[in-house]
């Protein structure tokens, strides 16, 4: 006759040394996970800032492009004009663009200006709108993009691009306009540009 002996549970508890080792390993793993999360979050934040800056530049180029397409100049209308000035601010290439156009933001003809000025140690792109029939020098510009590297506008003259134009001298607006905004993204200059042709009075 066989006699079965009951199974005896011989498990022993953890020693203090084992607990200390396990705690140290857990601390190392948690530190590594936190560091990875922190670096990932920092990278995401940097990417978000870059995307926002690119979106701001893209929107500005689009708006300026649409408004210059709708620019109006008539020799018989002394209040209409198109002026482009080449400027240099702290060694950075900038333009001052002023023209009259029909804007969806206001009723009738508007005097619109885009220019760059220094603000808080960085270059900022501004926009100013007013009434060409009642000029008001007290109107302040609204900042569009803070921290641009350059803002350049060029117009087609024959087979070359030039950076100055004044309808009071040329007697006619340019046929083609190129707008370029450059911003520093991840410590590298990134340029967005658009080439437009004024539609009012132009050939279709």
What is the SS3 assignment for 138?
coil
Beta-strand relationship, 165-166 and 82-89:
antiparallel
pLDDT at 44: 55
SS (H, E, C) 172-186: CCCCCEEEEEEEEEC
- Sign (positive or negative) of CA dihedral 17, 22, 27, 28: positive
CA-to-CA distance for 25 and 15, rounded, in angstroms? 16
State how far the Cα of 149 lies from the Cα of 88, in Å rounded to an integer: 12
Of the chain, the end-to-end C-alpha distance in Å amounts to 111
Which candidate, 204, 147, 148, 157, places its Cα nearest to that of 178? 157
Alpha-helix runs per DSSP H in the chain: 16-69, 167-170
Residues of the chain with pLDDT under 70: 1-14, 37-48, 201-204
Question: What are the extents of the domains in the chain?
Answer: 54-196
Q: Given this model, what pLDDT does residue 11 score?
A: 54
178: tokens are 């190129």
Model's pTM, two decimal places? 0.73
């Amino acid at each position: 006759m066989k006699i079965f002996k009951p199974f005896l549970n011989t498990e022993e508890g953890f020693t203090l040394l084992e607990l200390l080792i396990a705690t140290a390993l857990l601390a190392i793993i948690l530190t590594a996970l936190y560091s990875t999360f922190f670096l990932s979050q920092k990278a995401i934040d940097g990417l978000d800032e870059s995307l926002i800056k690119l979106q701001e530049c893209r929107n500005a180029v689009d708006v300026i492009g649409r408004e210059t397409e709708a620019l109006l100049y008539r020799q018989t209308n002394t209040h209409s004009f198109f002026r482009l000035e080449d400027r240099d601010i702290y060694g950075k290439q900038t333009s001052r663009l002023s023209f009259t156009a029909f804007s969806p933001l206001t009723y009738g003809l508007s005097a619109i200006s885009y220019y760059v000025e220094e603000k808080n140690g960085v270059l900022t792109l501004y926009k100013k709108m007013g009434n060409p029939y009642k000029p008001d020098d007290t109107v302040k510009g609204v900042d569009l993009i803070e921290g641009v590297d350059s803002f350049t506008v060029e117009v087609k003259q024959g087979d070359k691009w030039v950076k100055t134009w004044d309808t009071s001298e040329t007697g006619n607006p340019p046929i083609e306009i190129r707008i370029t905004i450059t911003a520093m993204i991840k410590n590298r200059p990134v340029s967005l540009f658009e080439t437009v042709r004024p539609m009012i009075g132009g050939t279709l």
